[in-house]
């Protein structure tokens, strides 16, 4: 099983953005209460220290003769601490007024990258990419 947390903002090809994209924005937003910004930054710092960042080229998929950044990240189900921390980050985003949701699938699509905690995959037709 693979797990992904999303916010309801659509990117390319109808794929909802993940938590980290939204959390970075809230961590720097002066309209967000300082304590909440600090809590978000604390979670982001933890992920930065503990979750490898795949190289940009890993996300590229050739489509119609062009390279497009169509890969999306999923946690592997054995990454229990990562997933637990993602639930915390999702709750913090909810406190900021941004709804977050967990998606789960057994079929993430074509796997482009794998490490002990995550994969990057090009979604297939059956892959859930949005929560609406």
Domain positions in the chain: 2-122
- pTM as predicted: 0.86
In this prediction, residue 126 carries a pLDDT of 80
Q: Please say whether the beta carbons of 132 and 18 come within 8 A.
A: no
Mean pLDDT over the full length of the chain: 87
**Per the structure block, which two tokens stand in for 52?**
């490898």
Residue 132 pLDDT exceeds 60: no
Give the single-character DSSP code of 116: S
pLDDT score recorded for residue 106: 94
What is the model's pLDDT at position 122?
Answer: 87
pLDDT in tens, 50-102: 999 887 666 666 666 666 566 789 999 999 999 999 999 999 999 999 999 99
Q: What is the spatial distance between Cα 117 and Cα 52, in angstroms, rounded to a whole number?
A: 8
């Amino acid at each position: 099983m693979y797990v992904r947390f999303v916010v309801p903002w659509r990117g390319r090809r109808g794929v909802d953005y993940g938590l980290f994209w939204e959390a970075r924005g809230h961590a720097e937003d002066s309209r967000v209460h300082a304590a909440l910004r600090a809590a978000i930054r604390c979670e982001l710092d933890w992920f930065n220290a503990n979750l490898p960042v795949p190289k940009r080229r890993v996300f590229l998929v050739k489509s119609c003769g062009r390279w497009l950044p169509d890969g999306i990240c999923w946690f592997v189900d054995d990454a229990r601490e990562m997933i637990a921390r993602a639930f915390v980050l999702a709750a913090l985003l909810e406190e900021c007024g941004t709804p977050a949701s967990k998606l789960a699938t057994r079929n993430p699509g074509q796997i482009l990258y794998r490490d002990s905690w995550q994969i990057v995959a090009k979604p297939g037709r059956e892959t859930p990419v949005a929560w609406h």
